[in-house]
Amino acid sequence: MPPTVATVVYLVAGLLFILSLRGLSEQASAQKGNWLGIIGMVLAVAVSVAGLFGFERGEAEAAGATTNVLAVYGGAIALGALIGGFVAARVQMTAMPELVAVLHSFVGVAAVLVGLGTLQEAGAHIDLAHYVEVQLGVLVGAVTFTGSVVAFAKLRGTIGSRPLLLPGRHVLNLALVGGCLALAILGWGAPPDRSFSYLLGVTGLASLLGVHLVWAIGGGDMPVVVSLLNSYSGWAAAAAGFMLSNDLLIITGALVGSSGAILSAIMCRAMNRSIWNVVFGGFGAEPAKASATQAPAGKVRETNVAETAELLRTARNVIIIPGYGMAVAQAQHPIREVTDVLRKKGVNVRFAIHPVAGRLPGHMNVLLAEAGISYDLVKELDEINDDFSDTDVVVVIGANDIVNPSAVDDRASPIYGMPVLEAWKAARVVMLKRSMAAGYAGVENPLCYRENTVMLFGDAKKTVQSLLAALQV
């Protein structure tokens, strides 16, 4: 196959990826978009495999030399496809954040390996531009890899969600980056073997950097971290594209990188934080200010299932605000049944989703959809925030910081300025909570102490199940 054919096919694949993203940005066309992406990928891989046969290099050399290699890579593809297919079919939606983190780490690994391979192959003949690309690709790839692994461990709960704040952590980050730079400069023009060792050094330092950067971020910031790593994985793919002078990789990497960056920006806006603050900040670790630690005035009123059922039965408008606590308790399925029962009785039940509810951007929407809740009942913050004053009962399930009134009225609060769901404007608020513990941000929630708020303590799933039983009587 002449190289021009490969180039044309790559171009078509690139266009398909662009169309795929456009499709994925609207509900009606999302599934089609995904398929366009699949077609693009199949084309691109097919051409590359054909390239492996060596048609571009001349048939004679190809026949013998690459048969073994092809068998090895064919096996690797088959095995990878099997694992990927199995995981995709089996994974629980609550475990999506972990899965996404693992998948990001693979892109990082691939970029590092391509970098090592490129330098090894080029040896002393590498020009400066390529050399810089290799170093950058390995740096970004290694940070993506170890950062994703740490994010995975945090999401699994293998390591605590608290940020690890080493003394002088900014100096440490700078030192690691400086070390990479120094090794890269030392390696330029050095004999190939030494140059390669220095690149391995860069890999090591960048890996440490990835671990440290993500470990210093608190569990509550996970949606931003995951979307940042999504972005990094794109940049890593683009860097690989520069190394190999492959336009398709550059285009695709840039698309993914910018889409991840947009998601990160949306998440940051939803938390009223700057991206720098998330990446380098170690939020939630500064000693909380006075007003945040003191218990707010007022007292906590407790309610029970029977009262709540009565409240819901007689309501006209109900809004349910789910948080990650709902997912942990697996309460989404009984909640769907409660919704069905109430809607049959003519109660207007809707759901309000905060952009950073859950551990992944859009995570709550997926969980509710999986439970069988129609997405036209599920509203975004901007769509529904004005409706709370018109609402009879708000039910908050396993959410905390995203309904905290301090974000609006307490300037001293660490979360002041963050857009929140203004649940307190409703006539009645029922908060389902396991205990009075503070949310991820470690901030007290005055909503619990308001006069129109009642607390329903206990495991979210059991509570909702008994609520369902009480409603069905």
Partner 1 sequence: MSVTVIMGLYVFVLAIFVGWQLISKVPHLLHTPLMSATNAISGISLVGSLVAAGSDHGRIMTVLGSVAVMAATINVVGGFLITDRMLRMFKTRTQRAK
The set of residues, in sequence order, having a beta carbon less than 8 Å from that of 404 and lying 6+ positions away, is: 413, 415, 420, 439, 443, 445, 446, 447
Per-residue x/- mask for partner 1, residues 21 to 50, rule CB under 8 A? xx-xxxx--xx-xxx-xx-xx--xx--xx-
Nearer to partner 1, 195 or 230 (CB): 230
The interface with partner 1 within residues 47-66 (CB under 8 A) comprises 48-49, 51-52, 54, 65-66
Among 81, 159, 166, 436, binds partner 1 (CB under 8 A): 81
Side-chain half-sphere exposure of 92, counting CA atoms within 13 A: 7
Q: What's the token pair of residue 191?
A: 């004999």
d(C-alpha 436, C-alpha 430), whole Å: 14
Q: What's the token pair of residue 33?
A: 């978009």
Nearer to partner 1, 291 or 365 (CB): 365
Among 262, 295, 306, 436, binds partner 1 (CB under 8 A): 262
Q: Tell me the residue length of the chain.
A: 473
| Count of residues interacting with partner 1 (CB under 8 A) | 114
Among 12, 113, 181, 200, binds partner 1 (CB under 8 A): 113
Distances in whole angstroms, Cα of residue 201 to Cα of each of 1, 147, 184, 194, 342: 39, 17, 9, 11, 62
191 binds partner 1 (CB under 8 A): no
The helix/strand count (H/E) of the chain reads as: 19, 6
Known catalytic residues? 401
Q: Which stretch binds partner 1 (CB under 8 A): 126-134, 202-210, 317-325, 447-455?
A: 126-134
Distances in whole angstroms, Cα of residue 166 to Cα of each of 280, 281, 470: 12, 12, 51
The interface with partner 1 within residues 206-245 (CB under 8 A) comprises 226-227, 230, 233-234, 236-238, 240-245
Among 7, 12, 73, 317, binds partner 1 (CB under 8 A): 73
Q: How far is the CB of 254 from partner 1 (least distance, A)?
A: 3
Cα R_g (the chain), whole angstroms: 26
Among 150, 256, 268, 341, binds partner 1 (CB under 8 A): 256
The interface with partner 1 within residues 341-370 (CB under 8 A) comprises 353, 355, 360-363, 365-366, 369-370
Cα angle, residue 312 at apex, residues 306 and 313 outer, rounded to 5°: 90
d(C-alpha 144, C-alpha 464), whole Å: 40
282 binds partner 1 (CB under 8 A): no
275 binds partner 1 (CB under 8 A): no
Q: How far is the CB of 409 from partner 1 (least distance, A)?
A: 25
